[in-house]
């Protein structure tokens, strides 16, 4: 935790009801950055100081050691985190990432984002997140399984269908979720399908879950273009990040008639002013792992992709890619945030001054948690929906949620991110007021 982390804020820093102040913008600490947005929204809705204090602190912060035996016979000890931010509206919900750069502040920020994300689409979950500090590219499948199962065992009394429900995130997938479910089931001696979402279809996963986040991005992009009076067909879009979210969004946007002129991953970017054939690019990545060398366009850097003249920019990679250092060079009408936290708070003001319409992450990429909710509901009822039902219900919730945020934005004359935070903070605070405080 940094010296100036918001979690250390003293009582005198509680916002004064009815007085909006400038958020304390930063580009470095993801928890501080997220809390700057929360603070600003809390001030605008005149949040009760007591509820403000509650929502500023995670409910649980857990750090575990994960000792495993490597394939070589050596023992290695990894560090794992799980943060539950708020469960007033329902069980904690949030992914688990395996990444060498995971920190407790990052996980705290992501857990809080999940609280606001679930509230903005009005589904009955709270926010949680987890991570293991490891480089999965340097671990065998067997070693990854040991890490996953030991991490799950360390959290066995925290996880559960009514308490905390993980899902895939960076460098985790359906297979990892299956290992978590199996480990939990062995300890609890029950089937426990609802303990995780994003599972394989064969063990209780939902149709449409893998594509859900990218599909949600496509839906809100169309809604934004409609709101701005811009055509869908022919609008130019660039997608930074060609993993599950970015590749699905790119494919679906192309199917809707937008022209995907650029895509990128960690290795390179590819630009073609006439449009990139996404199916070809996906096949190249399946065969070569990365876009590097893909012959369907000219190679560009990720930074060059961000500065292209576009109608829609869709950052779907990692946090903090649009900052105060490059925001002035952004040349697009719409930003749809497929990743969590791709735009720093400092960059928000620059983009707003430029007239860029930003669809914030807690709305734009909420398709994943929405269909995770569908999966959880199906697991609990024992009755599974066809894919059309999943897609139709996702679209209905996403369109309604976009309209809800847009209405708040218009009513209070604020940008869409501030409106989304105001709406979600009010929804969470309302539940706290109704439930009262256990003493």
DSSP symbols for 144-194? HHHHHHHHHHHTTTT-BTTTEEEEE-TT--HHHHHHHHHHHHHHHTS--GG
Is there a contact between 42 and 361 (Cβ–Cβ < 8 Å)?
no
- Name the helix (H) or strand (E) containing 98: strand 92-98
- Within 10 A of 338 (CB to CB), how many other CB atoms are there? 32
Give a three-class secondary structure readout of 123-136. Answer: CCCEEEEEEEECCH
3-state secondary structure of 209: coil
Q: Alpha-carbon torsion 390, 392, 393, 398, what sign?
A: positive
Structure token digits, residue 345: 């708070």
Task: Tell me the CB-side half-sphere exposure of residue 332, using CA atoms within 13 A.
Answer: 30
Output the CA angle 198-202-204, nearest 5 degrees.
50
3-state secondary structure of 86: strand
For residue 129, indicate whether it is catalytic: yes
Q: How far is it, in rounded angstroms, from Cα 394 to Cα 369?
A: 10
Q: How far is it, in rounded angstroms, from Cα 344 to Cα 319?
A: 8
Is there a contact between 301 and 307 (Cβ–Cβ < 8 Å)?
no
Longest dimension (CA), the chain: 64
Q: How far is it, in rounded angstroms, from Cα 335 to Cα 343?
A: 10
Q: Cα–Cα distances in Å, from 73 out to 69, 70, 76, 276, 338?
A: 6, 5, 10, 47, 40
Give me the catalytic one of 129, 199, 222, 251: 129
Q: Active-site residues: which are they?
A: 129
């Amino acid at each position: 935790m940094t010296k100036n982390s918001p979690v250390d804020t003293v009582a005198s820093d509680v916002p004064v009801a009815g007085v909006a102040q400038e958020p304390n913008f930063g580009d470095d600490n993801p928890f501080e950055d997220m809390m700057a947005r929360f603070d600003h929204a809390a001030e605008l809705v005149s949040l009760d100081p007591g509820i403000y204090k509650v929502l500023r602190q995670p409910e649980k912060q857990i750090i575990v050691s994960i000792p495993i035996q490597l394939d070589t016979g050596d023992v290695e000890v990894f560090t794992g985190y799980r943060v539950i931010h708020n469960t007033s509206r329902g069980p904690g919900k949030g992914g688990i990432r395996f990444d060498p750069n995971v920190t407790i502040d990052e996980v705290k920020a992501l857990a809080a984002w999940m609280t606001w994300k679930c509230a903005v689409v009005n589904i009955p979950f709270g926010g949680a997140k987890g991570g293991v500090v490891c480089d999965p590219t340097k671990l065998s499948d067997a070693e990854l399984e040991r890490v996953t199962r030991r991490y799950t065992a360390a959290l066995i009394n925290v996880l559960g269908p009514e308490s905390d429900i993980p899902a895939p995130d960076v460098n985790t997938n359906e297979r990892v979720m299956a290992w978590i479910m199996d480990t939990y089931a062995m300890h609890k001696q029950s089937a426990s399908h609802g303990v995780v979402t994003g599972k394989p279809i064969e063990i209780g996963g939902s149709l449409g879950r893998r594509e859900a986040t990218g599909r949600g991005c496509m839906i809100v992009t169309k809604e934004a273009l409609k709101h701005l009076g811009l055509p869908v067909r022919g609008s130019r879009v660039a997608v930074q990040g060609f993993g599950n979210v970015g590749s699905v969004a790119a494919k679906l946007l192309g199917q809707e008639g937008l022209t995907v002129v650029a895509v990128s991953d960690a290795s390179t970017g590819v630009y073609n002013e006439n449009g990139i054939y996404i199916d070809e690019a996906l096949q190249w990545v399946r065969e070569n792992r990365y876009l590097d060398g893909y012959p369907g366009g000219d190679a560009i850097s990720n930074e060059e992709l961000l500065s292209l003249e576009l109608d829609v920019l869709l950052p779907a990679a990692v946090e903090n890619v649009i900052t105060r250092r490059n925001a002035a060079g952004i040349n697009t009408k719409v930003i749809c945030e497929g990743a969590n936290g791709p735009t720093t708070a400092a960059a928000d003001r620059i983009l707003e001054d430029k007239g860029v319409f930003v669809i914030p992450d807690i709305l734009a990429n909420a398709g994943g948690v929405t269909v995770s909710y569908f999966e959880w509901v199906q697991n609990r009822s024992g009755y599974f929906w066809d894919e059309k039902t999943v897609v139709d219900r996702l679209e209905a919730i996403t369109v309604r949620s976009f309209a809800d945020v847009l209405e708040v934005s218009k009513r209070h004359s604020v940008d869409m991110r501030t409106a989304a935070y105001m709406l979600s903070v009010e929804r969470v605070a309302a539940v706290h007021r109704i439930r009262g405080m256990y003493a």
